[in-house]
């Protein structure tokens, strides 16, 4: 009968709507999971690359800072060595002049006459450095010994200055490369940081869209559940109508 056909159609529509709703929910949940996992993997990869570049930048900056400190230390050592060389040079000049004066003095002494006893070296050196006349003049041999000692110390100081200059030259040649490495790391770090920011902004936008889709899905779900309820009521009404008609048929058959 027509009522039976209508009831069957209602039952079919009800089953189809329920299946469609379940399929929609499964697809939505799968898409949300896949989107979240994909963006998370992108975030992880970029973060690892960014962290590696930041570590490389830190190492490059530390190396450049260490080179700068070494250069400053070498400058200070060179300054001290240069001053020492200058002082030794002046000391050698004084002792050379003192030796010449002592030789002139001894040349004036009578043959066989013993020269005056020289004072201690400390007393003599103090008088010479102060520019004062010593109470007893030094012997030429002692002056030349002190001159040679000053010259040796001056040569050692000059050698140290040359070594320090070589170290400073090597650092000066490597410093531009180190600074370029620092700048290159800074540039890569800034680029990756910008990429990470863009991905995170994109992820936030995607999640916002999914929030809207889920909200809409919930609204549609409410509508579908309402429709499902209406279909259920219609199905119940048709069942009642079918029962009533069957009862009428039985009553008619009994009358006949």
Cα angle value 72/73/74 (rounded, 5°)? 90
**What sign does the CA torsion over 17, 19, 22, 28 have?**
negative
Residue 200 CB-density burial (10 A; 0-12 exposed, 13-18 middle, 19+ buried): middle
Question: Is residue 155's pLDDT more than 90?
Answer: yes
The confidence score (pLDDT) of residue 224 equals: 60
- Is residue 16 within 8 A of residue 230, CB to CB? The reply is no
201-221 pLDDT tens trace: 777 776 676 666 666 666 666
The confidence score (pLDDT) of residue 176 equals: 85
Residue 89 CB-density burial (10 A; 0-12 exposed, 13-18 middle, 19+ buried): middle
Q: Which is more confidently placed, 26 or 177?
A: 177
11-29 pLDDT tens trace: 665 566 666 666 666 666 6
Say which CATH topology domain 2-255 has: Helix Hairpins (1.10.287)
- Distance from C-alpha of 64 to C-alpha of 184, rounded to nearest angstrom: 13
Question: Is residue 89's pLDDT more than 60?
Answer: yes
98-113 pLDDT tens trace: 899 888 877 776 565 5
Q: Which is more confidently placed, 39 or 199?
A: 199
Q: Which is more confidently placed, 181 or 120?
A: 181
Band (185; pLDDT cuts 50, 70, 90): confident
The confidence score (pLDDT) of residue 243 equals: 74
- Calculate the average pLDDT of the chain: 75
The confidence score (pLDDT) of residue 109 equals: 67
61-87 pLDDT tens trace: 888 888 888 989 999 999 999 999 999
Q: Is 112 helix (H, G, I), strand (E, B) or coil?
A: coil
Q: Which is more confidently placed, 152 or 138?
A: 152
Q: Which is more confidently placed, 6 or 159?
A: 159
Percent of the chain with pLDDT over 90: 19
């Amino acid at each position: 009968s027509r009522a039976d056909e209508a009831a069957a159609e209602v039952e079919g529509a009800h089953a189809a709507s329920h299946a469609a709703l379940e399929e929609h929910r499964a697809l939505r949940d799968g898409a949300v999971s896949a989107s979240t996992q994909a963006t998370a993997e992108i975030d992880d990869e970029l973060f690892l690359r960014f962290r590696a570049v930041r570590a490389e930048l830190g190492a490059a900056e530390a190396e450049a800072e260490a080179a700068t400190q070494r250069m400053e230390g070498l400058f200070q050592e060179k300054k001290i060595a240069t001053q020492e060389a200058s002082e030794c040079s002046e000391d050698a000049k004084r002792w050379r002049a003192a030796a010449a004066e002592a030789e002139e003095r001894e040349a004036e002494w009578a043959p066989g006459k013993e020269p005056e006893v020289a004072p201690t070296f400390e007393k003599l050196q103090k008088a010479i450095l102060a520019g004062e006349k010593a109470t007893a003049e030094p012997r030429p041999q002692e002056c030349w010994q002190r001159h040679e000692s000053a010259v040796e110390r001056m040569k050692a100081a000059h050698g140290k200055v040359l070594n320090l200059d070589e170290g400073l030259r090597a650092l000066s040649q490597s410093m531009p490369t180190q600074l370029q490495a620092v700048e290159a790391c800074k540039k890569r770090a800034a680029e990756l940081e910008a990429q990470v920011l863009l991905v995170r902004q994109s992820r936030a936008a995607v999640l916002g869209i999914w929030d809207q889709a889920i909200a809409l899905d919930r609204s549609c779900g409410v509508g579908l559940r309402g429709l499902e309820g209406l279909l259920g009521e219609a199905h119940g009404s048709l069942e009642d109508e079918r029962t009533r008609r069957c009862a009428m048929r039985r009553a008619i058959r009994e009358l006949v």
